[in-house]
Structure 1
């Protein structure tokens, strides 16, 4: 099955192509360009590299959130557009779960965090099963950064871009995954989505949408001003 994976949940976005479960190509988007400018040319470059056509894609997997509001919208809309043209099946993947997938270490409980702004974090927790896949044990929620990090117990592991400049808040004995594995990637998004698809899970094309997990600052301001 020819598969495209898309991650635009952070500024460092990426695309990946898989044949079955095998990665055949991947590339970062140019961060100096707007995502909308960079994503289509890069996709064309990748499919040309492996000798495919966009219309031949059979599965499109996309990071659904949490993450950048604008980035998630672009990624999901791109996935839906490609799926509409090619007739591909779509699968949305939780960004935190994709980050967890990058951790190959022998850990049981793994916490994953992304910056939610306002001194808060997006957080989810996962346990690794016998197949090496991470199973969600704490669904995505928003937590206060300092209080949450200080609440972790020695022996637990943590990863994710939300750790940047916050390591000082961690108690002694909490294991931090290698910083090179903190960020989400299209390759990780693809691997998670392929596992889900093979297990029979996919998303309705028409209803696929980003999961922001919080309202934007503009929406919250509008609600507070509405009598």
Structure 2
């Protein structure tokens, strides 16, 4: 077990019944959207192996050895992978670049399909409670959040109500309505600001995991979605501070 949160990065997420053609598909899921990164392997919709990456070692140095170990655990070869799912953003700029580049490299070698997943959608998927209106937030720095709002449908799936966007923290808290729920790593050290009547979900489920990324990606793949290998890139949802400075200097 690599250093990280207690236990495996695994969730009791309900997965829909898998068509017979999907039951043998070998999938790698990658989540490097935050400092606490993880990998997961699925066959069909069945989770076979998952683990956190060692946070004491740079991600670029630990991700390949961890993948090799997990693949060995399940008796596969990397070339047998058929689908590679990756957290595409929002998240750490560096982490997202590493994750997407790793996904593309592995997919190229294996001839696998690639698919990017919204990080906030993955976090919403970790909610196993019957919450009808769910807000997911992630720290975007500068007193802002990356934010997505989801509504739970009749099948228990959380459907995004709008594109992921950046919101000011104070404005976000002021917009919450009693009866709604909120989750996500943006709550760290800030959940006391949540208004009365708004439910804060269990802290153990605030972060994204490779299993959650894989669950979303596999469902999307079953729905006929995939991403063009050459155009798959991180989605940062904002320009870097360096890019904003260059634009300001040029204006």
TM-score normalized by structure 1? 0.99
Do residues 172 (structure 1) and 167 (structure 2) align?
A: no
SS at match of 1:64: strand
Residue in 1 that maps onto 2:125: 101
Residues 53 and 59, structure 2, Cα contact 8 Å, conserved in 1: yes
> SS at 2:135's partner residue?
strand
Alignment of 1:189 onto 2:189: no
Measured after TM superposition, the shift of residue 130 of structure 1 is 2.0
Gapped regions of structure 2 (runs ≥ 5): 1-24
Q: Give unmatched runs, 5+ long, in structure 1.
A: none
- Within 1, Cα distance between the matches of 2:46 and 2:153? 21
Q: Which residue of structure 2 lines up, in the alignment, with residue 60 of structure 1? A: 84
* Match 1:142 to one of 138, 157, 166: 166
Q: Please identify which structure carries the higher strand content.
A: 1
Aligned pair partner of 1:159 in 161, 183, 207: 183
CA distance in 1, matches of 2:41, 2:155: 23
Question: Which residue in 2 is equivalent to 1:207?
Answer: 231
Tell me if structure 1 keeps the 8 A contact 2:104–2:229.
Answer: yes
Judge conservation of contact 1:92–1:208 (CA < 8 Å) in 2. Answer: yes
Q: Distance in 2 between matches of 1:91 and 1:51?
A: 24
Query: Which stretches of structure 1, 4 residues or more, deviate above 2 A after TM superposition?
Result: none
- Cross-structure match for 1:89: 113
Is 1:36 the counterpart of 2:60? The answer is yes
**For 2:228 and 2:157, how far apart are their aligned partners in 1?**
24
Q: 1:71 aligns with which of 73, 85, 95?
A: 95
Aligned residues: 227
Q: Normalising by the residue count of structure 2, what TM-score does the alignment of the two structures yield?
A: 0.89
- Structure 2 partner of 1:130: 154
The 3-state SS of whatever aligns with 1:138 is: coil
Structural RMSD (CA): 0.7
How far off its partner does 1:151 sit? Answer: 1.7
Q: 1:131: Cα distance to partner? A: 2.0
The equivalent of 2:12 in structure 1 is none
Counterpart among 110, 121, 125 of residue 134 in structure 2: 110
